[in-house]
Structure 1
Amino acid sequence: MAQQAPPHTPRLPRTARPGRPGRSERVVAMQPLPTHRLLLVYGLLATALVGLGARLAWLQVIDTQNLQNRARAIQTQSVAPLGKRRTIVDRNGRLVALDEQRFTLWAHPRYFNFPGDDPQKLRRPDEVASRLGAVLAQPSETLLQRMAGRPSGVKLGTDIDPETADRIRRLNISGIDLEAYPQRVYPQGSLFANLVGFLNLERVPQAGLEQSRNSDLQRNETTLRMRRGADGTPLPEGMAAGSLYGDDLRLQLTLDARLQQVTQKALHDQVKKWKAKRGAALVMDVRNGEMLALASVPTYDPNRFWSFNPGLFREWSVQDLYEPGSTFKPINLALALQEKAIQADGKVFDNGSLSIGGWPIFNHNRQGNGLIDFPTVLEASSNVAMVKAMGKVKRERFWQWLSTIGIDERPDTDLPGAVAGELKDRKTFISHPIEPAVAAFGQGFSLTPLKLAQLHAMLANGGRLVSPHITRGLRSGDALAPAPGGGGLQVLDPEVTKVVMGWMETVVANSKSLGIHIPGYRIGGKTGTAQKAERGMYIPGALITSFVGHLPIDDPRYVVLVVVDEPKGGNTYGSTVAAPVARKIIDALLVLEQLPPSDPKALGASRSKAANPSAG
């Protein structure tokens, strides 16, 4: 059976393409797509639409704050505060500490371009170095060496003053940036270093008022935020109320830079002359406790603190204890008068030595003075007479008085680091007779020079215990705070202190060799030469010499205390070492404070005699 041929698939006719005769195009017949492919495409599109909707919902609802913050970051410029500090001035407005603007110079060699250059032109580092070197007063080779091989972020200098920075800006060199920062400057140098302290290179307070009053010295500065338009123009509505407020508060001291300078120089010269370990001098207004001067040597320059021994950064006159010796005798006599254990016109017999509980006690010259009154007790500085006079005060009351006037308490003061003194406990003081005996002439307990000045101010102001301080508070602009009125806790009877002040005046009036007597002025004083104790033991040959003065006696206003630690050589006494410093301070104080003489006639006679020595 013959095999049948397969059916022949018909061919569609070819149609000729336009412009191409004899050519035809194949036509493919349309066929329906599979259903599963349509569903797959539809699912993908639906999923994409759902994703876009979810993303839109996320951006509009969930991530709104983040997007808003990012937009604000682009639209808003933030200027962080420099962290400036408030200025410190003395009682008369003289600058003591202030912040000055300084600059760090940065170079970016990849962007170097001069004014007038084509924007695409790149200047060589040596061309820039030659121009900057003239302004910075540095060799251009040095600047070029710093920039060698570095495309950006090269520090060319720091501590650049505003004038030099302005000259650099006028060069208009692209690729040069100036970064501003504040630098603490102390115009008075070492004059107030012992009290004001300093900031380290990281601007962290390290000592003095800079540390203790840190919160008061920090300016109220806020981060400045300014909104900008699309073209970068600042928009005023973006600035919060008070953004441009300027903090012009200044911390005013009670100290007088003029008197401080005289005090420090006189003290320095005397410490150097006697090869002493150190010295301190204090001048206090007895009416309100203001310190007009508080100097100590050796000292340091806070502008170059890194060059000095850190041990100098503390003020020893308010932090170190010592036994005051004879300068405490007037205070003890006031306590005895207050207790009515002695009388103002009383006398005591001084035989030169005595024994208390088996312990011998002598006068400094081991000689007796016989029957003497109390002005002579102070003038002769008799230890024996003081022991006998204070022996009339009950031991319990003596200890109670020493505690009442705050020997063992920290003084109420703004002076940084002030400490309490040391006083034997009540039981030891009462049960051991030698304790009140040595306390009678200022030994066996310890205090700071600051505390001693406070107690002598109590004698001068009529018995009030005022708080020693060196600040008057914050003032705005150029305004200065007036001196505060008197205050303080009334401790002693004013009549009692008046008697003791008269006795101290006798000491100065009858001791012309002391060098404190000034014709026409009534001045009281007392010297002190005490053994130096350390850890309860007296150091052989080590002395602390001191002098305390009051003026004027008829209207007491000031106490001057000078303490010189461990002077070397012979004839080292309060009268020879400390008193000459006090005299120079008193001379300056009379002039600066314009104190009128108590006896103008005596002053006039003295001046006439000085002008015409041959007369009389």
Structure 2
Amino acid sequence: MVRTRGWSGSEPSAPERRQEPNARKRPNRRVIALQSVPAGRLLAVYLLLAAGLIGLSVRLAWLQVKEGDRLQSRARAIQTQQVKPIGRRRPIVDRQGRLVALDEERFTLWAHPRFFNFPGDDPQLVRTPTDVAQRLSSVLVMPETALVQSMGPRRSGVKLATELDPETARRVRELGISGLDLEAYPQRIYPQGQLFANVVGFLNLERVAQAGLEQSRDKELRRHEGMRTMRRGADGTPLPDGIQAGALYSDDLRLQLTLDARLQQVAQQALVKQMKQWKAKRGAAMVMDVRNGELLALASAPSYDPNRFWSFAPSLFREWSVQDLYEPGSTFKPINLAIALQEKAIQADGKVSDGGQLTIGGWPIFNHDRKGNGLIDFPTVLQVSSNVGMVLAMRQVKPAQFWEWLRTIGIDTMPDTDLPGAVAGQLKSREIFTSQPIEPATAAFGQGFSLTPLKLLQLHAMIANGGRLVSPHITRGLRSGEGLAAAAPPAQGLPVLDPAVTKQVLAWMESVVKHGSDPGVKMEGHRIGGKTGTAQKALNGVYIAGARICSFVATLPIDDPRYVVLVVVDEPQGANAYGSTVAVPVARQIIEALLVLEKVAPSQPTGKPPAATGAARASGDNGSRPQAAATVRG
């Protein structure tokens, strides 16, 4: 029989008593009775949460409304990169496209010694300036000691070198040295040196235009470069959506000159040689296309090197043939004869009686040799350069009309030109000119008034082109590509004289070269007209004893005029210094080169095989073009 514990309350058995302690170790489960939460506590929690949400909302609104622009700009500054333009300028080229001025990239080398580290070094290692100097000296061609001394104890921002060319900069980069920084900048270079300095000018070390076309055409020469903005990703990769249309476009426009570097070189070399021989103060040589006013050459001496402008006197930075006045003398006589013909005051077959001297208003007037020439026609007046003959011819023109003509052709008006610094000439007032007989008398042979060599060139171009006053200029404007080879159209010009009148004067000028006392530019097969001039030099209205200005003007070819050549030499020394001895040899060399370079065919058969001149060889010609022989006065 199995005994069981009942509920009678009897004592437990022994096994049950042994298990009782283990049963007491069980955790007792406590039951908490539910109680209602006080309303004040719920309200406090709700208000706390609401306050937090309101605070976040206010902060968000503050960031979006008040701080939005500032934060957006900070974000854009991190996400975008702005590339500032370095101020490049457009090149300048001659009429054949040869470079006259251009920007070349140069570099400044900065050192930051606290970051010196070589490729392969531990990133925490900092190299000494001596270590860097050892590797850098051979690239910069500088002594190590000089580099170390330049860096000294400074930790950053040390300028080691400047004006480094791109090749040297590339070799510095290849060293891979941390702590070296190359700063790029443009530098204006003038590869032709002194050849075009008188008209092109230069930029100073701060790249500010100081003279010539660089200054007068500064706005056109500046490239229209704006600040470039480019978006970048987190790793620095450029993103295309941040690049504005046309931001990476750069035009290839160039300022093209009408000047020809080859002819300019011939003119300058001939001018410098003659000035040295005659110990002259200065000189100018100019060549103009009479059809449109383009200058093919404008050489001036002494000159300067715009690449090293600081080594020269500032007085050389101006082109005196455009800015300084002088009395033209006998080279103005053809202009006056054209005025007299236009007024019908003289006839083409008329004559004057040259006695060698005469008195006007109590003032004596002489020929240059103080000799008379008898009864002579107007071609002879020019051939012997008779002052008396010119006074007698221009006496037939009323002084008031003479003065009006000098005003009409612009003696006292600034010429319409793109040459920087051009000035107007000086002419006596109408009252003085008409009331004092000596004034129209001296004006008859080119004295008593003043003008610039540029103005005289323009007036002789007017005689050559049939009476039109064209504007002298040295630029064709901004061009690119095939536009550089395009020729300028003929200019209309202002009609002033009758073409028949100018044709007659050209025939008289041709007789000067053919039959005059100095046929220095006579060339077989070519019809050339010319006129020399030797005028006294005045300063503040007073003539300087012994000071002369010698000049010569030539027009060619007479049958179809295209070019005018003018040479002016200021204060040559020597008793035999005249236009024929000083200026004509320069003009002759220029004309020889001009005939070759512009392929001007002879007007008449020469009967001689073509020969290349020194000017042609100097310009790179191979001698295949025809060249007329020249007769030189001994």
TM-score, normalized by length of structure 2? 0.87
Aligned counterpart for 2:250 among listed residues 241, 246, 264: 246
Equivalences for 1:211-610 in 2 at 5 Å? 211-477=215-481, 479-480=483-484, 481-511=486-516, 513-601=518-606
CA distance in 1, matches of 2:611, 2:397: 44
How far did residue 487 of structure 1 move?
Answer: 1.6
In the superposition, relative to structure 1, how do residues 606 and 351 fare at CA in structure 2: closer, same or farther (>3 Å)? Answer: farther
Q: Which residue does 1:20 correspond to in 2?
A: none
Retained in 2: the 8 A contact 1:520–1:603?
no
User: Deviation of residue 57 (structure 1)?
Assistant: 2.3
> 3-state DSSP class of the match of 1:96?
strand
**Residue aligned with 1:141, SS:** helix
- Partner of 2:167 in structure 1? 163
Matched, 1:173 2:171: no
- Once residues 606 and 197 of structure 2 are traced to their aligned partners in structure 1, the CA distance between those partners, rounded to angstroms, is 42
Q: For residues 106 and 469 of structure 1, do their structure 2 counterparts lie closer, same or farther at Cα, with a shift above 3 Å needed?
A: same
Residue 369 of structure 2 aligns to a residue whose secondary structure is coil
Task: From the superposition, tell whether residues 97 and 454 of structure 1 become closer, same or farther in structure 2 (CA, over 3 Å).
Answer: same
Partner SS for 2:188: strand
Letter in 1 for 2:496: V
Q: Deviations over 1:55-87 (max 9, x none)?
A: 432221122212111111111000000100000
Classify 1:588/1:55 alpha carbon distance in 2 versus 1 (closer, same or farther; 3 Å): same
Q: Which AA in structure 1 matches 2:163?
A: D
1:563 deviates by 0.4
Q: Aligned to 1:262, what secondary structure does the other structure show?
A: helix
Change (3 A) 1:359 1:523: same
Q: Alpha-carbon deviation of 1:49? A: 7.8
Q: Which runs of 5+ in 2 are unaligned?
A: 1-42, 613-625, 630-634
Superposed CA RMSD in Å reads: 2.2
More displaced stretch, 223-232 vs 252-261: 223-232
Which has the larger Rg? 2
SS at match of 1:157: strand
- Give, in whole Å, the separation in 2 of the partners of 1:449 and 1:602: 37
Matched AA of 1:335? I
Q: Which SS does the other structure have where 1:406 is aligned? A: coil
Equivalence for 2:25? none
String of CA shifts for 1:400-456, please: whole Å, max 9, x gaps.
110000000000000000000011111111111111000000001000000000000
Mapping of residues 28-107 of structure 1, within 5 Å = 53-107=57-111
Q: 1:199 to 1:44 in 2, by over 3 A?
A: farther
The residue aligned with 1:127 is: 131
What is the total number of aligned residue pairs between the two structures?
Answer: 572
Distance in 1 of aligned mates of 2:369 and 2:607: 35
Cα distance change, pair 426–513 in 1 and its aligned pair in 2 (3 A): closer
Deviation, 1:192, is 0.1
Counterpart residue number, 1:33: none
Q: Give the partner amino acid of 2:400.
A: E
Deviation per residue, 1:280-302 (Å, 9 max, x gap): 01000001000000011000000
Instruction: Tell me the TM-score normalised to structure 1 length.
Output: 0.90
Cα distance in 1 for residues equivalent to 2:51 and 2:156: 49
Contact 2:384 2:517 in 1 (8 A): no
CA contact (8 A) 2:383 2:517 kept: no
> C-alpha separation between the residues in 2 aligned to 1:188 and 1:363?
44
1:137 aligns with 2:141: yes
Q: Alignment partner for residue 151 of structure 1, among 155, 166, 169?
A: 155
Partner deviation per Cα, 1:441-494 (whole Å, 9 max, x = no partner): 000100000000000000001100000000011112464132222320111000
Q: Does the Cα contact within 8 Å between 2:524 and 2:606 map onto a contact in 1? A: no
Give, in whole Å, the separation in 1 of the partners of 2:611 and 2:343.
Answer: 41
Secondary structure at 2:388's aligned position in 1?
helix
SS of the residue corresponding to residue 258 of structure 1 reads helix
Segments of 5+ residues of structure 1 without an aligned counterpart are 1-38, 612-616
Q: Percent sequence identity over matched residues?
A: 73
- CA contact under 8 A between 1:77 and 1:225: conserved in structure 2? yes
Q: Secondary structure at the match of 1:472?
A: strand
**Structure 1 residues 338 and 603: CA distance shift in structure 2, 3 A:** farther
Secondary structure of the 1:251 match is strand
Deviates more, 1:536-545 or 1:85-94: 536-545
Q: Aligned equivalents of 2:540 and 2:475: distance in 1? A: 34
Query: In the alignment, which residue of structure 2 is the partner of 1:114?
Result: 118
1:30 aligned partner: none
Paired residue type of 2:443: A
Question: How far apart, in 2, do the equivalents of 1:69 and 1:545 lie?
Answer: 70
